[in-house]
Amino acid sequence: MTTTTELVSKRVCVTGGAGFLGRAVCARFHAAGFGNVSVPRSAEFDLTSAESVSRLFAQARPEVVVHLAAEVGGIGANEKRPGRFFYANMLMGVLLIEEARRRGVEKFVQVGTVCSYPKHCRTPFREEDLWNGFPEETNAPYGVAKRALGVMLDAYRREYGFNGVYLLPANLYGPHDNFDAETSHVIPGMIRQFCDAVDQGAERVECWGTGTPTREFLYVDDAADAIVLATMSHDDPEPVNLGTGEEISIRDLADAIARLCGFRGTIAWNPTRPDGQPRRRLDPSRARRRLGWTASVGLEEGLRRTIEWWRAHRPSALRPVAGGSS
């Protein structure tokens, strides 16, 4: 059995380690005592290239891989780039898992997505329901690609004894999120909209859809804690949800963000734009049992921290952003 001392001495490679979730995960690895954590940069390593992935493994010689890298965005981005999102996310995972198997990597942690669940999945979403239907159409290519990687890990465990772990986080948010006009998810998109409206003295903000769908949101630091715990202690092949078990309607979310941003004007809903999946709420009980983990940051506090970070770090000039509920 691997001891904690032996574990923290392992060479860990975190793909996407410079990104939104990745920087939080790497910080927690370092806090836990891991002294050899490598982060491949996209400028040097194209993870959709077999040659590049092989070169990465030859240089980093990882004993543990945590795969966070992804091409992803909100509803608008998924509508515009479904082919790319399927191709890039599928290929990155396939190449990394196969290379890890070939090189005898001791553990592979794959972070999936709540988008993999069926569009009309019963709530709360339980891991055993993952294959009981097709994902919501606007993000199905991304969700199916990520879902297939869980199947690959299971197949590799059965045939090769490969130790793969599969995690399914709820929608993430927090400081360092993506606030880009074209690709942001709903929380950073709304924060930017309402902060801009306050600064510009606008009296009206338009949001996509009807506001009726629900979502579950997980603060990025909570997700990072769970991923590090799973890396250190979880070796079970079954997928594990990471979430709070609480859902909020997009309309109520907009009201909360507007209030925290200080916006007092009118919120107008545009029903000609897609709503996305009708409901999302995970059952996090398996994570409590298997990882000893529960989320600690409530939505109100997480939104407050994210808004404070955005106001302190936003660029001086950005294009207006369209809202979405993915």
Candidates 107, 92, 111, 70; CA nearest to 241 is 111
Candidates 248, 292, 285; CA nearest to 126 is 285
Alpha carbon of 144 to those of 48, 64, 92, 114, 222: distances in Å?
17, 25, 14, 11, 25
pTM for the model: 0.93
In the chain, the domains with their CATH numbers are 4-173+217-242 (3.40.50.720)
Candidates 292, 235, 244, 252; CA nearest to 114 is 244
pLDDT of residue 63: 98
Confidence of residue 4 (pLDDT cuts 50, 70, 90): low
Active site residue 219: no
Asked whether the predicted pLDDT for residue 225 surpasses 60, the reply is yes
Residue the block writes with tokens 């194209």 = 46
Asked whether the predicted pLDDT for residue 276 surpasses 90, the reply is no
Q: Which of 87, 117, 142, 156 is catalytic?
A: 142
Contact 30, 56 (CB under 8 A): no
Candidates 146, 144, 134, 127; CA nearest to 282 is 127
Contact 257, 207 (CB under 8 A): no
| 3-state class percentages of the chain: helix first, strand second, coil last, to nearest 5 | 45, 15, 40
Cα–Cα distance between 325 and 211 in angstroms, integer?
Answer: 8
Neighbours of 275 (CB within 10 A): 20
Per-residue burial over 188-212, b if 16 or more Cβ lie within 10 Å, else e, is bbbbbbbbbbbeeeeeebebbbbbe
Omega before 124 within 30 of 0, i.e. cis: yes
Q: What is the pLDDT of residues 107-122, one digit of tens each?
A: 999 999 999 999 999 9
Confidence of residue 317 (pLDDT cuts 50, 70, 90): very low
Contact 114, 216 (CB under 8 A): yes
Cα–Cα distance between 13 and 21 in angstroms, integer?
Answer: 14
Cα–Cα distance between 36 and 167 in angstroms, integer?
Answer: 23
* Average pLDDT for 274-286: 93
Cα–Cα distance between 301 and 316 in angstroms, integer?
Answer: 26
Asked whether the predicted pLDDT for residue 322 surpasses 70, the reply is no
Strand partners, 164: 108
Q: What is the pLDDT of residues 150-191, one digit of tens each?
A: 999 999 999 999 999 999 999 999 999 999 877 889 999 999
Confidence of residue 78 (pLDDT cuts 50, 70, 90): confident
pLDDT of residue 326: 43
Q: What is the pLDDT of residues 18-29, one digit of tens each?
A: 999 999 999 999
Of residues 319 and 295, the one with the higher pLDDT is 295
Is residue 50 helix, strand or coil? helix
